[in-house]
Amino acid sequence: MIIEKIETFVLTDKLSDSFFFSQWEYSERCICVVKVTASNGQHGWGEGYGPATVLESGIKLLEPVVVGENPLENEVVWNKMYRKTLDFARRGVLMASVSAIDIAIWDLKGKILNQPVSTLLGGAHRTKIKPYATGLYFMGHDNPSRNFKKEAELYVSQGFKAIKMKVGLGVKEDIKNVKMVREIIGDDIELMVDSNHAYTLREATQLARAIEKYDIGWFEEPLSPEFYDQYNELRQKTTIPIAGGECEYLRFGFQQLIKNKSVDIIQPDICASGGLTEAKRIGAIASTNGVDLIPHTWGTSIGIHVAMHFISNIESIPGRMYQPDFLMEYDQTENGLREKLTYPAIKMEDGYIEVPNRPGLGIDVDEDVLHEYAIKSTIDSNYEMQKILK
Ligand SMILES: [Mg+2]
């Protein structure tokens, strides 16, 4: 059996209200998903995290090294893609293209072998995962946190046991917002903050120290991802655990974060940092060094299922009779690609999500919905044109 076909789809969902965080504003969601089909007719789905049309170009570049390969040998295919991109893309979007194909191959492999991805990874240490709500983004520039109260109350009423809010408006404003959200959600719900690398070391230290009293689960991307040493310095100055890594790639990038003792928690995005094949290796480095791993997710329901299977397979170190809950990022901002693209739908009950035990990622894509969101990109037509001219 061989991989016969790779198809890409750039999906766009225009938002009814735009929202922003410390770096930029979103008025639409635009994501590249990939379908890999084997010679026996079975297929798998993957997605990449990053600029969708650039990602799509990367997948086109990789297509010739993937087609004809055995879909059961994901490490062999991964290495061929890695060697094809190494000279140009040790970090960045081409690695997200590799990730998208790798994920689709894992889904396909699971469907061929009739086993869930968690089993292929080595087995599920847990069948339930605790999602944390990612939300509390800024809306409207005159009073960016105007929806915080309503939104925080909604997450509590939906049963979330953990919530992550945005900071990065300025230290004073952030302190006020964190205090407000903690008061709304009470003491029993975990609260994390994420500045998306908005601050200098001095500002991040000031903010961290001021919000320590609000029992913060972690401070995510306080500083620019390039400042490995400053992350380490910040860790010495606050009791709040420091998290980061959503802009990091491959085991080599995470090795650098861990070697510099930059973070307490690494957050690889599996759809960008090298796919499931590489995530397993990143997980091995994390557990070797006693660093927690909670993947970053942002995208369609395909990416969320990838995280679910991966998290179910993370070893608890140190082990103990009563294991802690394992968290999963669960974006709650407006996104039709998360809600409608795949079936069956994700269900949260009593604040937990059950890891699917169906083959592959445990989902399929509704192709009618897919085509509704798909745009025929210029890259696609250029590519078709190149094929014709050959
Ligand atoms: Mg983040």
Would you state the pLDDT for residue 378? 46
138 Cα: distance to centroid of ligand 1 (angstroms)? 14
296 Cα: distance to centroid of ligand 1 (angstroms)? 7
What is the rounded distance in angstroms from the CA atom of residue 30 to the CA atom of residue 329?
19
Residue 147's contacts (CB-CB under 8 Å, 6 or more residues apart) are 139
175 Cα: distance to centroid of ligand 1 (angstroms)? 18
Q: Identify how many contiguous H helices and E strands the chain contains and give both numbers.
A: 14, 16
Nearest to 98 by CA among 299, 314, 250: 250
349 Cα: distance to centroid of ligand 1 (angstroms)? 25
Q: At what angle do helices 301-312 and 93-113 cross, to 10 degrees?
A: 70
**pLDDT reading at 143 higher than 50:** yes
Residue 352's CB: how many other CB atoms inside 10 A? Answer: 18
What is the rounded distance in angstroms from the CA atom of residue 110 to the CA atom of residue 103?
11
**pLDDT reading at 205 higher than 70:** yes
Would you state the pLDDT for residue 377? 46
Nearest to 256 by CA among 287, 282, 290: 282
Distance from the first to the final alpha carbon of the chain: 27
256 contacts 249 by C-beta, under 8 angstroms: no
Query: 288-336, pLDDT tens digit by residue?
Result: 999 999 999 999 999 999 999 999 999 998 989 998 999 999 999 999 9
CB atoms within 5 A of ion ligand 1 belong to 194, 220
**pLDDT reading at 1 higher than 50:** yes
What is the DSSP-derived secondary structure letter of residue 359?
A: S
Domains of the chain in sequence order:
3-115+365-389 (3.30.390.10), 118-363 (3.20.20.120)
Q: What separation in angstroms does the CA of 356 have from each of 130, 248, 361?
A: 14, 28, 8
Residue 284's CB: how many other CB atoms inside 10 A? Answer: 12
Would you state the pLDDT for residue 129? 98
Q: Kind and range of the H or E element at 94? A: helix 93-113
Query: 339-383, pLDDT tens digit by residue?
Result: 999 999 999 999 999 999 999 999 999 999 999 999 754 445 454
Rounded to an integer, the average pLDDT of 53-59 is 97
The rounded mean pLDDT for the chain is 95
80 Cα: distance to centroid of ligand 1 (angstroms)? 30
Q: What is the pTM of this model?
A: 0.95
What is the rounded distance in angstroms from the CA atom of residue 48 to the CA atom of residue 272?
6
- Backbone φ and ψ for 112, nearest 5 degrees, come out as -65, -45
Instruction: Give 13's Cβ-side CA count (13 Å radius).
Output: 19
Query: 45-54, pLDDT tens digit by residue?
Result: 999 999 999 9
Query: 226-247, pLDDT tens digit by residue?
Result: 999 999 999 999 999 999 999 9
The residues annotated with a catalytic role in the active site are 296
What is the rounded distance in angstroms from the CA atom of residue 234 to the CA atom of residue 300?
33
